[in-house]
């Protein structure tokens, strides 16, 4: 109930709401909550360690070749998208159009490079396009208040079908020599990809933990009304995280495209499922306001390892997406059971 006091409108629960908004960044409460704060991250780390140990026993050839390095490089690319997806989910939203945008940016980056644009300009164009596409989602979700699942489903279909109609599924070929691995060669190019992902991860983790913008993301997802009373603009925060996801998806698409001599317009298919699975299994609450970036990092590594492990363990590779779906279901179910009141 709102009561008017000397010209100001106040709520009886304002003080508690304000406290929740201001401290709803990574939980720091003492007692039992502190003990279980990172249990999901530890569980994912244990699962990853167990899988790696199983591979060492069953098929040590996994470690003999370049497979571990390929997993790290692939994980670095997916981690960029997972960071952006984490920000979106922390604000109680979702974006399932990242795979389609990933493909579109990769194709247009290849076309720009083939047209003779220098690589720095190709990178700027890719990031600008990703930010623009993210802003479109943000405008519909934050500006018009439409459900993010519906908006991003619509943009996913529009982008994917438009790309398919325009290019007819053809690869982008005839790329210049300085496009693949940025002209550095495979080992140096892989190091660049991993370094970019590491720097972005560290900066994003620091911002979420220590900066006002990061706390605004947690506050918006925890309780939008409390965040508003604390002086935060939830709609602006929601818009900006969609733009951020767009930019990070574009960066990941460019880093993925340079690994090959031609650009596959279907390389982003299924990316949304893998990224959402990594974020959710890493402990980021689908209901918003809770989670860290360490969990999605471990989730990305776990899912990438599972994909390769299926081959080395003699299983069919097509089980990969089924496992991802099961991981999402189990993670969401465990979150729901943990949040149920005890009787």
> What is the spatial distance between Cα 103 and Cα 129, in angstroms, rounded to a whole number?
12
- Predicted TM-score (pTM) of the model is 0.85
* pLDDT band of 1, cuts 50, 70, 90: very low
Question: In the prediction, which pLDDT does 317 show?
Answer: 63
- Are 232 and 220 spatial neighbours (Cβ–Cβ below 8 Å)? yes
What's the chain's Rg over C-alpha atoms? 21
In this structure, how many other beta carbons lie within 10 angstroms of the beta carbon of residue 8? 7
16 has a pLDDT exceeding 60: no
* pLDDT band of 279, cuts 50, 70, 90: very high
17 has a pLDDT exceeding 50: no
Question: In the prediction, which pLDDT does 11 show?
Answer: 40
Portion of the chain with pLDDT greater than 90, in percent: 54
Cα distances (Å, whole numbers) of residue 273 to 152, 214, 326: 13, 25, 11
* pLDDT band of 316, cuts 50, 70, 90: low
Residue keyed to tokens 């109609």? 165
CATH architecture assigned to 40-45+66-335: Orthogonal Bundle (1.10)
- List, in sequence order, the alpha helices (H) in 233-292: 234-257, 271-281
Residues 6+ apart with CB under 8 A from 252: 77, 78, 80, 81, 102
> What is the spatial distance between Cα 55 and Cα 61, in angstroms, rounded to a whole number?
8
Q: What is the mean pLDDT of residues 245-264?
A: 95
9 has a pLDDT exceeding 70: no
132 has a pLDDT exceeding 70: yes
Question: In the prediction, which pLDDT does 58 show?
Answer: 87
Q: What is the mean pLDDT of residues 180-205?
A: 94
Task: Please tell me whether residue 168 adopts helix, strand or coil conformation.
Answer: coil
Question: In the prediction, which pLDDT does 339 show?
Answer: 56
Q: Which of 41-55, 236-250, 305-319 has the lowest mean pLDDT?
A: 305-319
Most confident of 40-44, 193-197, 224-228, 281-285: 193-197
In tens, the pLDDT along 29-55 reads 444 554 457 788 888 898 889 888 988
In tens, the pLDDT along 200-211 reads 999 999 999 999
> What is the spatial distance between Cα 157 and Cα 134, in angstroms, rounded to a whole number?
15
68 has a pLDDT exceeding 70: yes
Q: 331 vs 287, which has greater pLDDT? A: 287
Return the domain boundaries, the chain. Answer: 40-45+66-335
In tens, the pLDDT along 86-115 reads 999 999 999 999 999 999 999 999 999 999
What CA dihedral angle connects 276, 278, 281 and 286, to 10 degrees? -30
Portion of the chain with pLDDT greater than 70, in percent: 84
Q: What is the mean pLDDT of residues 148-173?
A: 90
Q: What is the mean pLDDT of residues 151-177?
A: 90
Q: For the chain, how are helix, strand and coil distributed in percent, rounded to 5?
A: 70, 5, 25
- Are 313 and 58 spatial neighbours (Cβ–Cβ below 8 Å)? yes
> What is the spatial distance between Cα 273 and Cα 99, in angstroms, rounded to a whole number?
9
Residues in a beta bridge with 5: 8
CA angle 34, 276, 294 (to 5 degrees): 35
Mean pLDDT across the chain, nearest whole number?
Answer: 85
């Amino acid at each position: 109930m709102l009561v008017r006091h000397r010209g100001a409108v106040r709520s009886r629960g304002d003080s508690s709401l304000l406290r929740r908004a201001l401290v709803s960044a990574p939980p720091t409460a003492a007692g039992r909550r502190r003990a279980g704060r990172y249990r999901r991250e530890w569980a994912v780390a244990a699962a990853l360690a167990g899988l790696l140990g199983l591979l060492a026993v069953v098929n040590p050839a996994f470690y003999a070749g370049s497979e571990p390095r390929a997993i790290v490089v692939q994980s670095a690319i997916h981690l960029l998208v997972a960071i952006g997806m984490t920000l979106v989910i922390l604000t109680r939203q979702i974006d399932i159009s990242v795979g389609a945008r990933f493909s579109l940016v990769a194709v247009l980056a290849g076309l720009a490079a083939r047209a003779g644009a220098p690589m720095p300009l190709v990178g700027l164009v890719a990031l600008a396009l990703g930010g623009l596409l993210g802003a479109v989602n943000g405008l519909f979700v934050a500006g018009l208040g439409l459900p993010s699942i519906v908006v991003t489903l619509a943009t996913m279909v529009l982008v994917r079908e438009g790309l398919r109609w325009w290019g007819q599924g053809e690869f982008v070929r005839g790329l210049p020599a300085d496009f693949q691995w940025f002209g550095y060669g495979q080992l140096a190019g892989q190091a660049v990809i991993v370094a970019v992902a590491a720097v972005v991860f560290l900066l994003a983790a620091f911002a979420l933990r220590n900066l006002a913008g990061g706390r605004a993301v947690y506050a918006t997802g925890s309780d939008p009304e409390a965040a508003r009373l604390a002086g935060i603009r939830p709609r602006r925060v929601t818009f900006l995280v969609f733009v951020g996801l767009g930019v990070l998806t574009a960066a990941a698409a460019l880093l993925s495209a340079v690994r090959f001599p031609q650009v596959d317009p279907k390389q982003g298919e299924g990316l949304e499922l893998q990224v959402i699975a990594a974020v959710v299994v890493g402990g980021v609450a689908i209901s918003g306001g809770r989670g860290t970036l360490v969990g999605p990092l471990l989730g990305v590594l776990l899912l990438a390892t599972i994909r390769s492990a299926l081959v080395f363990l003699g299983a069919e590779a097509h089980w990969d997406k089924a496992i991802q779906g099961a991981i999402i279901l189990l993670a969401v179910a465990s979150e729901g059971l943990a949040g149920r009141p005890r009787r």
